[in-house]
Amino acid sequence: MTRSVIDCPGDSPRGKMLSRPHFTRQVCSRISLVGEFCVNSLETTMHSHTPPSSNGFDRTVFFVSDGTGITAETFGHSVLTQFDLRFRQIRLPFIDTEDKAHEAVLRINDALHNEGKRPIVFSTLVKSELSAIVRRADAMHMDLIQTFVEPLEQELGTVSTHTIGRSHNIADSQDYKSRIEAINFSLAHDDGQSHKNLSSADVILVGVSRSGKTPTSLYMAMQYGIKAANYPLIPEDFERGMLPSGLIPFRSKVFGLSIAPDRLSEVRNERRPGSKYASLENCRYEVNEAERMMQREGIRWVSTTVKSIEEIATMILHELKLGKRSY
C-alpha cells in the first residue's frame, strides 16, 4: 500500500537555528510522501502480500485527469487497497486537450498490448469530449465525474460548471492563502526551532526524535490548513521530569507521538548506524520516559509505529476537535 507511512521525522537538535535555505532543504528531505505536484506522468507501484505476476505486478492502473490527478488517485487508492494484488500505477495529469487525450489512449492501449491484461482507468475528466476520447481505450473505465456529477445535477436541480481543475485551482482564494500560511508556520516551528507565536498554533506535537512529528505537522498544514508546531522531547527534559517550559502555557494544544522502541532503533540506525542514539537500549529509555511524561502531564498521545500520516492526522484532528481550516 503506497500510503505515506511515517518513518522520517526531523532530527535537528532543538534550539539549533538553521538558515532558511538549509532549513527548507532539510525539511523537504525528511518527507517521503506528503504531497505530490507533477507535470509529467508519474509511475508508482502499490504493494501487497500476494506474489506478483511474472512482470512484477498484476495489473496496470491509470489515473487520468485534466488537473493534477490527485482526486482520481486518492479515490483509486481507496478502492484498490481492498484487493490483495500488486498494481502498477501511472498518473496522467493535465489531459486538457484532444491531442493529450489521444496520447493517453495510446499509453493505455500499449499497456494492454505489452501485458495482455486490460488496464484499469480512474478518470476525472470534466469535459465530455475528452472523456469520450479516453473511453475509446481498451480498458476497464471508472469515470468519477459522470458517476457523481450527473446524479447530483438531477438532485440539486442545477447544472454543474464543468470547470477544469476547479478543486485545485484555488490560488486566489482565502482558503489557499490560509493553507500556505499554515505551511510556513509549520516550517518555522519544526523541531522546536522557534517559540515565537506558539499561541497561534492549532496543535503542538511532541515526542522523541524520529517519532513522526515533522511529516505529520506538514501533512496537516498542507492538507487541512492546520498550524502545527512540533517539539522534540530530549534527555534533558526527562531529567527535569517535566515538559519544556515554553510549552507549559499551551498544554491544551499539546499532542504526543510515540513509537515502538525496536522500530525507532531501526529508523535511527538508518541515519546514525551503531550510535548510542540509535541503540535499542537508548530507544527504550527515551520512549519509556516520553510516555511516562505524557501520562503524568495528562497529554493525549498515539503510537505512530504502524500508522500512516493520514491516520495519525485524522486521530489528532478528532481528539483535539480541530476542524479543517482550508479546502
Q: Kindly tell me the burial class for residue 111, based on how many C-beta atoms sit within 10 Å of its own C-beta (0-12, 13-18, 19 or more).
A: buried
Bridging pattern class, strands 203-207 and 140-143: unpaired
Q: Is residue 10 part of a domain?
A: no
Give the model's pLDDT for residue 52: 47
Query: Strands 301-303, 254-258: parallel, antiparallel or unpaired by DSSP?
Result: parallel
Evaluate if residue 175 carries a pLDDT over 80: no
Residue 309 falls inside a structural domain: yes
Mean pLDDT of the 109-133 span: 94
Mean pLDDT for the chain?
83
Question: What is the model's pLDDT at position 170?
Answer: 54
- Under the banding of pLDDT at 50, 70 and 90, the label for residue 4 is very low
pLDDT digit string, tens, across residues 39-50? 344 555 554 444
Higher pLDDT, 256 or 78: 256
Element (H, E) at 183: helix 174-188
* pLDDT of 261 higher than 90: yes
Domain endpoint, select from 156, 184, 212: 156
CA-to-CA distance for 200 and 222, rounded, in angstroms?
Answer: 17
Which burial class, exposed, middle or buried, applies to 277 when counting CB atoms under 10 A from its CB (0-12, 13-18, 19+)?
middle
- Tell whether 192 and 134 lie within a shared domain: no
- Same domain flag for 26 and 46: no
Last residue of a domain, one of 156, 179, 212: 156
* Domain identity same for 313 and 184: yes
Tell me what pLDDT residue 324 has: 60
Query: What local confidence, expressed as pLDDT, does residue 136 receive?
Result: 97
Give me the mean pLDDT over the 131-140 stretch: 96
End-to-end CA distance of the chain: 25
Position of cell 469535459?
127
Average pLDDT over residues 116-131: 94
Residue 1 is assigned to a structural domain of this protein: no
Q: Sign of the C-alpha dihedral, residues 26, 30, 34, 40? A: positive
pLDDT of residue 274: 95
For 218, phi then psi, to 5°, come to -70, -35
Q: Determine the structural domain holding residue 87 and report its residue range.
A: 42-156
149 and 212 fall within a common domain: no
| Alpha carbon distance 122, 294 (integer Å) | 44
Q: Do 146 and 179 belong together in one domain?
A: no
- The CATH number assigned to the domain holding 176 equals 3.40.50
- The one-letter amino acid code at 64 reads V
Choice among 39-48, 51-60, 104-113, 164-173 with the minimum mean pLDDT: 39-48
Q: Whole-angstrom Cα distance, residue 81 to residue 89?
A: 12
Q: C-alpha cell of 184?
A: 510556513
Instruction: Say if 139 falls within a structural domain.
Output: yes
169, 34, 39, 164: which is closest to 93 by C-alpha?
39
Quick one: pLDDT at residue 5?
A: 36
Burial of 96 (0-12, 13-18, 19+ CB in 10 A): middle
Higher pLDDT, 19 or 277: 277
Same domain as 288, residue 177: yes
pLDDT band at 15 (very low <50, low <70, confident <90, very high): very low
pLDDT of residue 42: 53
Q: Give the pLDDT confidence score for residue 169 in this predicted structure.
A: 54
On whether both 70 and 195 belong to a single domain, the answer is no
Is residue 206 located within the same domain as residue 304? yes
Rg (CA), the chain: 23
Check residues 290 and 30 and name the one with the higher pLDDT: 290
Contact 314, 212 (CB under 8 A): no
Per-residue confidence at 262, pLDDT binned at 50, 70, 90? Answer: very high
Asked if residue 2 is part of any domain, the answer here is: no
Q: Are residues 78 and 181 in the same domain?
A: no
- Pair 182, 136 in one domain: no
Domain boundary among 116, 133, 156: 156
Report whether 190 contacts 27 (CB < 8 A).
Answer: yes
Predicted local confidence at residue 147, as pLDDT: 86
Q: What is the DSSP letter of 308?
A: B
Q: What is the mean pLDDT of residues 183-209?
A: 94
Q: What is the pLDDT of residues 207-253, one digit of tens each?
A: 999 999 999 999 999 889 999 999 999 999 999 999 998 999 999 99
- Tens-digit pLDDT profile for residues 63-105: 999 988 888 898 898 899 899 999 999 999 999 999 999 999 9
Co-location of 177 and 310 in the same domain: yes
Domain count, the chain: 2
Take residue 177 and report the three cell numbers written for it: 492563502
Q: What are the beta bridge partners of residue 207?
A: 232
Report the distance separating Cα 186 and Cα 288, nearest Å.
Answer: 27
Residue 35 lies in a domain: no
Q: Are residues 218 and 150 in the same domain?
A: no
> Per DSSP, which regions of 13-70 are E strands?
42-46, 59-65
Buried b (16+ CB within 10 A) or exposed e, 169-190: eeeeeeebebbebbbebbbebb
Torsion 78-79-85-88 (CA) sign:
negative
